[in-house]
Amino acid sequence: MLLDVKRLLGSLYEEYDYEFDPAWVEGEIPKDLFGSYFRNGPGLQVASERYTRHAFDGDGMVCCFSFRDGRAWFRNKFVRTKGFVQEQAAGRPLFRSAFTKGSADGSPFFNPFDLDMKNVANTGGWCG
């Protein structure tokens, strides 16, 4: 079970877009199942040699499972916030997030008055 929890909070470092191989499915996908399921949540956990961020501080990733004619597809995309783009370009954490303790990159230099937080855009919501 511990390994399952670690996978749940692990990172996806790439974006994917593929159709499920029928061999991956036990039984079969109903032919009349049609539509898409979207989920937004933390997808990329930024870590440095000195510091690992809290799982809830992961940058947002939208995942989509789509179904049609007994087939299924998966696609995911990172939410490209300003902070995400800047950190990807720098190759390291630059901003604190809601659950970050200390400096963004884990260095010993910490300014407690630095309230420049990054919007991780990783919270799903219901629209109705």
Record the pTM. 0.75
Which residues, other chains included, contact 18 with Cβ-Cβ below 8 Å and sequence gap of 6+?
73, 74, 75
**First vs last C-alpha separation in the chain:** 35
- Residues paired with residue 34 on neighbouring β-strands, in sequence order: none
Q: Is 83 exposed, middle or buried (0-12, 13-18, 19+ CB in 10 A)?
A: buried
Helix H or strand E encompassing 105: none
pLDDT for 51 equals 60
SS3 84: helix
Query: In 3D, which of 86, 9, 80, 5 has the Cα closest to residue 43?
Result: 9
Q: Is 115 exposed, middle or buried (0-12, 13-18, 19+ CB in 10 A)?
A: exposed
Q: What does the radius of gyration of the chain's CA atoms come to, in whole angstroms? A: 18
Q: Which residues of the chain have pLDDT under 70?
A: 1-10, 46-53, 101-102, 104-108, 124-128
- pLDDT tens sequence across 83-106: 889 988 988 778 877 777 667 666
Which residues, other chains included, contact 12 with Cβ-Cβ below 8 Å and sequence gap of 6+?
43, 44, 61, 76
